[in-house]
């Protein structure tokens, strides 16, 4: 599936730029339904693998496009909150599907029954089609991205969407006119540059941001979260927990609950401190967990099992390891979980946004795929030392983000150039005043007038009269 996701994230950009973010996401939902049904009715391994790859294409497309769509349609004050809702939905999906799989494992008497029917795995795979259908149908009532509409010179539709978002339907609201003007100016500047998205993305000022987006997606995998999510059962078994499946379920609940504070406060905390504190927290819990396992654990006397390192008769130490695992999940859920999707979707100019985010998302799935192959043998061969490796990765992420991650909260997407091209170091860019707020205030006070020419309203040609100094 990660291999399919890698492919999906690659093809998402041209589809989104040509047909809109909305239609591209709907197409991805249709692909998901097809993949889910192929998995559900698979008659052999080849058919199952094909279904997984097809479903993965949807995951790659949506993981690249949903944050872009949300960022382009959300008010700047709550953009982080809106995109974080995507991560919260992901955590709910993981939790719900985990319990569906857990419940289906008891079909026909459970896995101990040699004649257990294939319903045990066909039901979970088939149920996957349901949220895909909800996504495709539900998006019918959602608007297209105003920035995409503007890029296609559909200015009247762009203004209408902005009015619904910022002005309760009033196209003459100062905030609506300010953002409309800002989008218009940004597109005019990009067209004067006459550079394609490919050539523009290779410019040093943009390439640096592409590298930052790729690094964030890389660290979101190398932080070790997916290791804990996929292989937590082995950790529980090694710690001597009687019912590892049920104990593992707790971390899925923690993942859901601890994403809520990020949704509520990420636009107040800011992206930069959230990433830094998250890296520090995850690094701490991994080092403690790995050290405890190294000091108090021993090789598993039962050979040829999935678990090769165990704690025998060390109940308190085992509880501490489990606590560190839960705290690690909480640290990720409140920080890197939502911000790793929010940040790359908001730092690029409009012309290269879909392409740049797809490249960053490709990085996520490439590392996800690599870890799927690398982690099981690591768990078997080096055991607790693996935790120290991922702890070190979090230390590297902490340094990387400190040196490169600028603060983006409270800024419009059109203002990101001034954030990243200001010449100021990342730790000094958080207090710059938003140009949109200044422009809206000037329009409201009558210093600047933005008028739509009624004779050309179909094209929404505007005239800006400067009633004083900007």
Alpha carbon distance 170, 159 (integer Å): 10
150 and 138 in a single domain? The answer is: no
Exposed (0-12), middle (13-18) or buried (19+): which is 253, by Cβ within 10 Å?
Answer: middle
Range of the domain at 461: 146-194+433-466
How far apart are the C-alpha atoms of 365 and 55, rounded to whole Å?
A: 14
Does residue 134 lie within any of the structural domains?
yes
**pLDDT < 70 stretches in the chain:** 194-196, 242, 305, 430-433, 451-470
Domain membership flag for residue 43: yes
DSSP conformational letter for 370:
H
Claim to verify: residue 188 and residue 242 sit in the same structural domain: no
322 and 212, same domain (yes or no): yes
- Residue 160 in any domain: the answer is yes
What is the rounded CA–CA span in Å between residue 101 and residue 103?
5
Burial (0-12, 13-18, 19+ Cβ within 10 Å), 136: middle
Report the pLDDT value the prediction gives residue 230, as an integer from 0 to 100: 72
Judgement on whether residues 81 and 150 belong to the same structural domain of the protein: no
Q: Show Cβ contacts of residue 458 under 8 Å, excluding neighbours closer than 6 positions.
A: 156
pLDDT at 194: 67
pLDDT at residue 379, as a whole number? 80
Same-domain pairing of 125 and 247: yes
Q: Are 74 and 183 found together in one domain?
A: no
Does one domain contain both 276 and 178? Answer: no
For position 462, what pLDDT does the model report?
45
Instruction: For residue 228, tell me if it sits in a domain.
Output: yes
Q: Find, among 376, 369, 357, the residue nearest to 233 by Cα.
A: 376
Q: State the pLDDT at residue 124.
A: 95
Question: In the prediction, which pLDDT does 413 show?
Answer: 94
* Residue 26 covered by a domain: yes
Judge if 331 and 365 occupy the same domain: yes
CA pair distance 327, 299, nearest whole angstrom: 26
- The predicted-structure confidence for 252-269, as pLDDT tens digits, reads as follows 999 999 999 999 999 999
Same domain, 206 and 172: no
Identify whether residues 116 and 259 lie together within a single domain.
Answer: yes
Taking Cα atoms as reference points, which of 346, 222, 223 lies closest to residue 278?
223
Among 385, 413, 441, give the residue marking a domain's end. Answer: 413
Residues 22, 64, single domain; the answer is yes
Please state the domain count of the chain. Answer: 2
- Residue 31: give its domain's CATH number: 1.20.1250.20
Residues 280 and 383 in one domain: yes
Eight-class DSSP state of 107 = G
**Does residue 426 lie in a domain region?**
no
Tell whether 376 is covered by a domain: yes
């Amino acid at each position: 599936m990660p291999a399919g996701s890698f492919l999906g994230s690659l093809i998402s950009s041209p589809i989104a730029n040509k047909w809109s973010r909305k239609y591209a996401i709907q197409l991805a939902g249709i692909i998901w339904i097809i993949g889910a049904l192929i998995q559900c009715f698979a008659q052999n391994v080849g058919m199952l693998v094909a279904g997984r790859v097809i479903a993965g294409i949807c995951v790659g497309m949506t993981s690249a496009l949903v944050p872009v769509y949300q960022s382009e349609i959300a008010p700047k004050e709550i953009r982080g909150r809106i995109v974080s809702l995507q991560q919260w939905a992901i955590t709910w999906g993981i939790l719900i599907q985990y319990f569906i799989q857990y419940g289906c494992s008891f079909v026909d008497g459970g896995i101990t029954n040699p004649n257990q029917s294939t319903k045990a795995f066909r039901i979970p795979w088939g149920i996957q089609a349901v949220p895909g259908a909800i996504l495709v149908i539900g998006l019918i009532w959602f608007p297209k991205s105003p920035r995409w509409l503007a890029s296609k010179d559909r200015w009247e539709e762009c203004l209408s969407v902005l009015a619904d978002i910022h002005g309760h339907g009033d196209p003459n609201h100062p905030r609506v006119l300010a953002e409309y003007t800002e989008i218009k100016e940004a597109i005019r500047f990009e067209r004067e540059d006459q550079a394609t998205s490919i050539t523009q993305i290779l410019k040093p000022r943009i390439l640096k941001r592409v590298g930052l987006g790729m690094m964030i997606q890389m660290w979101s995998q190398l932080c070790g979260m997916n290791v804990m999510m996929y292989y937590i059962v082995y950790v529980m078994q090694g710690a001597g927990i009687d019912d590892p499946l049920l104990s593992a379920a707790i971390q899925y609940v923690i993942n859901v609950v601890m994403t809520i504070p990020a949704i509520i406060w990420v636009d107040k905390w800011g992206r930069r401190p959230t990433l830094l504190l998250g890296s520090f927290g995850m690094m701490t819990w991994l080092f403690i967990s790995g050290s405890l396992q190294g000091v108090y654990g021993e090789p598993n006397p039962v050979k040829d099992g999935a678990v090769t390192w165990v704690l025998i008769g060390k109940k308190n130490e085992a509880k501490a390891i489990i606590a560190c695992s839960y705290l690690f999940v909480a640290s990720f859920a409140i920080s890197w979980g939502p911000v790793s999707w929010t940040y790359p979707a908001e730092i690029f100019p409009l012309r290269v946004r879909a392409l740049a985010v797809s490249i960053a998302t490709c990085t996520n799935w490439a590392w996800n795929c690599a870890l799927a192959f690398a982690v099981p043998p690591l768990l078997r061969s080096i055991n607790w030392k693996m935790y120290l490796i991922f702890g070190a990765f979090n230390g590297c992420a902490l340094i990387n983000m400190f040196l490169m991650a600028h603060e983006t909260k409270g800024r419009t997407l059109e203002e990101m150039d001034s954030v990243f091209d200001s010449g100021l170091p990342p730790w000094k860019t958080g207090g710059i005043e938003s140009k949109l707020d200044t422009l809206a205030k000037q329009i409201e006070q009558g210093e600047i007038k933005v008028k739509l020419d009624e004779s050309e309203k179909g094209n929404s040609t505007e005239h800006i009269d400067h009633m004083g100094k900007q």
